[in-house]
Amino acid sequence: MNAPHDSLATWQDIDRKHHIHPFTDQKALRDAGTRIMQKGEGVWLWDSEGNRFLDGMAGLWCVNIGYGRAELVEAASTQMSELAYYNCFFGTSTPAATRLAALLAEVTPQGLTQSFFTNSGSEANDTVLRLARHYWAIRGKEKKAIFISRRNAYHGSSIAAASLGGMAWMHSQGGLPIPDIAHIGQPYVFGEAGGEDPAAFGRRVAQELEEKIRELGPHRVAAFIAEPVQGSGGVIVPPASYWPEIKRICDEHEILLVADEVICGFGRTGKWFGSDYYGLKPDMMSMAKGISSGYLPIGAVMMTDEIANTLVSGGFLSHGFTYSGHPVACAVAVRNIEILRDERIVERVETVAAPRFAEAWGGLADHPLVGEARTIGLLGAIELVADKAARRRFAPDRKAGLILREAGLRHGVIVRSIGDTVVASPPLIISDGEIDELSKRVGMALDDAATSLSN
């Protein structure tokens, strides 16, 4: 597979000298050396040394139809041969971009009909911020500029998207957040409800939105943005009482509701979108990742006719990227969405895979290290605890989550640790046997971690 001079040691050496990695402890990585991933098939990955891993994270929450689908390779190759690039500026488009716009209008929740294309989720959320403010300005309400988001939300890494995000450790690098962004609490039952009844907690946290709107003045608030289920925050599944209350508040105060579907979109919850799962009727929706199953970078913002028509009435729109509607990325996204639709992958997640995963992953709750195991669709989380009965966490310097993640790698499974919350988000095409295998391997990693942490 490799050229004769290629070897792990050479790659690691080059990587140390020339590559700064995203979201990585740079020093620790240089000491440890990079793992080189080389091949993927279905839910499986192989590294350069031939180690095989069950990819419990679908790459980075994105490879929804799994690795190695020849149809997507074919779609890219055909489009590249015919027209490798053209833009959507100055009155042009391409068949691939128009096909994708039509398909998105078909699969997204009713009412969302028009797309703006980006290259990533971060760009989609930057776009949301600019378009929503511009929308209110066209309607003569330019003071409606503030975005309300949530603490521990993740909306991307660009300046606006990271400001929308609610992670203090991200704000601390690069002088964030930008002005006119406010944050409220998150519906994190295990971490923050204490003994409160989950339904009451969900309503109370949602009502923080109303308090914040009153504090700021509804005439100054443009939108509320949130993931239907927080992904990078730790697969935080809100209580059933949460979203209905948020919807009521947005409607009553004339605030746009923006659903960040970058992780929840394209079948992750067993519905096409997290908004479908919760019956939300968002005014705008940001998406990326699963739109192309990660085969090429692409994102989009979907919006209602009302918003799009207002933008049209505003005339010239001064926003866009060289690669907005890149034909190769669009062609791959079209083929990916057709596969999700025609092979009824989303329906299979809802009726077969999600119940199986709920049972297999739910079984991990019996482990002494696990304070809670939860799933929704093909998203799962376990909360690691030092004392199960008291639900007491480990001290942060014990790095229990990282220990579990490392133990997982030794057992040939990739999961993600977010503090001491360990999450999974496997490809949607995962078979029943592979779902059981994923949970079994995490179970073995838990046994290893329990031994390490008992010392």
**Could you give the CA distance from residue 100 to residue 390 in angstroms, rounded to a whole number?**
51
CB of 13 to ligand PXG, least distance (A): 26
DSSP string of 280-321?
Answer: ---SEEEE-GGGTTTSS--EEEEEEHHHHHHHHHT-------
Query: In terms of CB distance, is 231 or 325 closer to ligand PXG?
Result: 231
CA angle 325, 331, 332 (to 5 degrees): 110
Residues 6+ apart with CB under 8 A from 168: 151
CB of 143 to ligand PXG, least distance (A): 27
CB of 122 to ligand PXG, least distance (A): 3
**Could you give the CA distance from residue 239 to residue 197 in angstroms, rounded to a whole number?**
10
Asked if residue 258 lies in contact with residue 228, where contact means CB atoms within 8 angstroms, the answer is no
Give me Rg for the CA atoms of the chain.
22
**DSSP element (H, E) containing 417:** strand 416-418
CB of 298 to ligand PXG, least distance (A): 9
Query: In terms of CB distance, is 227 or 276 closer to ligand PXG?
Result: 227
The partner residues of 422 in beta bridges, in order of sequence, read: 382, 417
Alpha carbon distances (Å) from 313 to 139, 144, 243, 273, 394:
10, 18, 32, 29, 56
CB of 169 to ligand PXG, least distance (A): 13
Residue nearest to ligand PXG (CB): 121
Query: In terms of CB distance, is 273 or 367 closer to ligand PXG?
Result: 273
**Could you give the CA distance from residue 154 to residue 416 in angstroms, rounded to a whole number?**
15
Binding site residues, ligand PXG, CB under 6 A: 23, 60, 120-122, 125, 154-156, 227, 231-232, 260, 262-263, 288, 416
CB of 429 to ligand PXG, least distance (A): 20
Tokens at 185, concatenated: 């609490």
CB of 288 to ligand PXG, least distance (A): 4
Query: In terms of CB distance, is 152 or 232 closer to ligand PXG?
Result: 232
Query: In terms of CB distance, is 288 or 422 closer to ligand PXG?
Result: 288
The partner residues of 286 in beta bridges, in order of sequence, read: 260, 301
Query: In terms of CB distance, is 191 or 367 closer to ligand PXG?
Result: 191
CB of 312 to ligand PXG, least distance (A): 26
**Strands 413-414, 52-55: parallel, antiparallel or unpaired by DSSP?**
parallel
Asked if residue 125 lies in contact with residue 290, where contact means CB atoms within 8 angstroms, the answer is no
Query: In terms of CB distance, is 408 or 450 closer to ligand PXG?
Result: 408
HEC sequence for 422-453: EEECCCCCCCHHHHHHHHHHHHHHHHHHHHHH
Query: In terms of CB distance, is 43 or 264 closer to ligand PXG?
Result: 264
CB of 128 to ligand PXG, least distance (A): 10
**Could you give the CA distance from residue 394 to residue 126 in angstroms, rounded to a whole number?**
37
**Could you give the CA distance from residue 153 to residue 229 in angstroms, rounded to a whole number?**
10
Query: In terms of CB distance, is 116 or 356 closer to ligand PXG?
Result: 116
